[in-house]
């Protein structure tokens, strides 16, 4: 836990937030500024700065992140498809330096993203 990290403080319960999912490795919250009808952040409980820090040893965590995203997409009824994206660093548009996947759905997505 990194005490000055917003998402670590949510993971620990220090900052209360409604969790869409929570287990030993991963939790999920609805984005405060949704960019689609479904906009959920799926995050590791442990602090990892971004996808740039991941190694092969994180395979179990990544499997959990993806499977939880798929479960939430199903729960939210995103039969038509959805998008999973993780911004890395300033050029990637990352604003909170704790790894998170954005699960976006409920509308048609555009490509390329901005
Ligand atoms: P990033 O810009 O790092 O890829 O994504 C960070 C996301 O966290 C943004 O979409 C932003 O709206 C969301 N966010 C920032 N602060 C909060 C908060 O206090 N609560 C929730 N639920 N989401 C937040
Ligand atoms: Zn953190």
Output the pLDDT for position 64: 98
Q: State percent of the chain over pLDDT 70.
A: 98
Q: What DSSP state is assigned to residue 79? A: T
DSSP E strands, the chain: 19-22, 26-30, 38-44, 82-85, 101-105
Give 72's contacts (C-beta < 8 A, 6+ positions apart): 20, 21, 28, 38, 40, 42, 103
pLDDT (average), residues 87-101: 98
Cβ atoms of residues 38 and 76 within 8 Å: yes
**Ligand 1 centre distance from Cα of residue 17 (Å):** 12
Both structure tokens of 86: 């993780």
Output the pLDDT for position 7: 98
Cα gap 39→23, rounded to integer Å? 19
Cα gap 90→86, rounded to integer Å? 12
Question: Is any atom of ligand 1 closer than 6 Å to the C-beta of 94?
Answer: yes
pLDDT tens digit string along 44-85? 999 999 999 999 999 999 999 999 999 999 999 999 999 999
Output the pLDDT for position 3: 81
For the whole model, what pTM was predicted?
Answer: 0.97
Question: Is any atom of ligand 1 closer than 6 Å to the C-beta of 55?
Answer: no
Query: What is the distance, to the nearest Å, from the Cα of residue 2 to the centroid of all Cα atoms in its chain?
Result: 17
Question: Is any atom of ligand 1 closer than 6 Å to the C-beta of 32?
Answer: yes
The yes or no reply on domain 6-105 and CATH 3.40.1690.10 is: no
């Amino acid at each position: 836990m990194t005490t000055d990290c917003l998402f670590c403080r949510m993971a620990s319960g220090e900052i209360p937030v409604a969790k869409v999912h929570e287990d030993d490795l991963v939790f999920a919250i609805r984005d405060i500024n949704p960019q689609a009808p479904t906009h959920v952040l799926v995050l590791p409980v442990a602090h990892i700065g971004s996808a740039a820090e991941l190694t092969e040893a994180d395979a179990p965590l990544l499997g959990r992140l993806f499977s939880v995203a798929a479960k939430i997409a199903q729960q939210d009824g995103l039969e038509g498809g959805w998008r999973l994206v993780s911004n890395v660093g300033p050029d990637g548009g990352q604003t909170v330096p704790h790894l998170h996947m954005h699960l976006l759905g409920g509308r048609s997505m555009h490509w390329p993203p901005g």
